[in-house]
Structure 1
């Protein structure tokens, strides 16, 4: 019984972390990049380098978008990919039943491709763009999937 209560408390705490990440992301989307960076860093300090992979992947993915320096953006996108590589479908489904880890990869690789292009490392950009293209079968036929597919096509056009 105590184990079940502890598990429920841990899951509730995890949901709270995802809620907090979402709240900071609203700040970011509202244009308050500096405040968002500060709050993401506070959350990162709580989660830690070895914390819940869903939390690390999600936070790092959004933290990358809050960066002004392309090298910093790349570092955070690499953290997101590293976390995704140890993330399980079971953990993702705990957060939202319709999600699967494989659905994260098109966006993660697209972001890395864009980072490398910004840093004039076009060959590495092409490689991640190839991986993004290879993973798009995991995307749904919805606005999100359409947006990722369109962004991949645009970046492919930019790379020639």
Structure 2
């Protein structure tokens, strides 16, 4: 993203620090820090915090069932985030732009679990929301990943994607591919 935060938000700053730590390879520490923030936030906490935390916690799980649980939480929280709240955090970012990534992640998790009907539902939703993606490298990355996951669903392929964010045997360098 090219815009700067509009106001200081210590929780979002702490999330960002933990995410960078995870991308640098310390997944266990990043997971602990994000889980502590999740506990502090609580089920009724700020939906933007919950969405962001769950979105990144999903990346820290190799097991697609665990990742799926966090991605469901992220989508649920996104549905409660207002446009005003997103603008308070980052001008130029819109809640609509979150949905392609959220649905893409759900589709990929369902695909890995062999639940191809659910995967198809979410990859279709990701494609429908793709026009809301920002222009630039992040939007381009997601626009490329949507047909990649759709093709894997069509092939009934349950193997992890090399281009997917998060920990796993494919990690040899920090991942910088996932962002809200």
Q: If the length of structure 1 is used for normalisation, what is the TM-score?
A: 0.90
Q: Are positions 1:41 and 2:63 aligned together?
A: no
What is the CA RMSD across the aligned residues, in angstroms? 1.0
Q: Which residue of 1 aligns with 2:50?
A: 56
Give the Cα separation in 1 of the matches to 2:135 and 2:63. 33
Of 134, 145, 149, which residue of structure 1 is paired with 2:139? 145
Describe the SS at the equivalent of 2:20.
Answer: helix
Give the Cα separation in 2 of the matches to 1:92 and 1:59. 15
Q: Which residue of 1 aligns with 2:128?
A: 134
Aligned length: 148
1:8-87 matches, within 5 Å, as 12=8, 15-87=9-81
Describe the SS at the equivalent of 1:86.
Answer: coil
Q: Which residue of 2 aligns with 1:8?
A: none
Describe the SS at the equivalent of 2:65.
Answer: helix
The alpha carbon displacement at 1:141 in A equals: 2.0
The alpha carbon displacement at 1:36 in A equals: 1.1
Q: Which residue of 1 aligns with 2:109?
A: 115
The alpha carbon displacement at 1:156 in A equals: 1.2
Runs of 4+ that moved beyond 6 A: none
Q: Which has the higher contact order (CA 8 A, sep 6+)?
A: 2
CA deviations on 1:26-47 (whole Å, 9 max, x unpaired) are: 0110111111111111110110
Q: If the length of structure 2 is used for normalisation, what is the TM-score?
A: 0.80
Q: Are positions 1:154 and 2:132 aligned together?
A: no
In structure 1, list runs of 5 or more residues that go unmatched: 1-10
Give the Cα separation in 2 of the matches to 1:115 and 1:140. 24
In structure 2, list runs of 5 or more residues that go unmatched: 1-6, 155-180
Describe the SS at the equivalent of 1:141.
Answer: coil
CA deviations on 1:33-78 (whole Å, 9 max, x unpaired) are: 1111111111101101110000000010000000132111000000
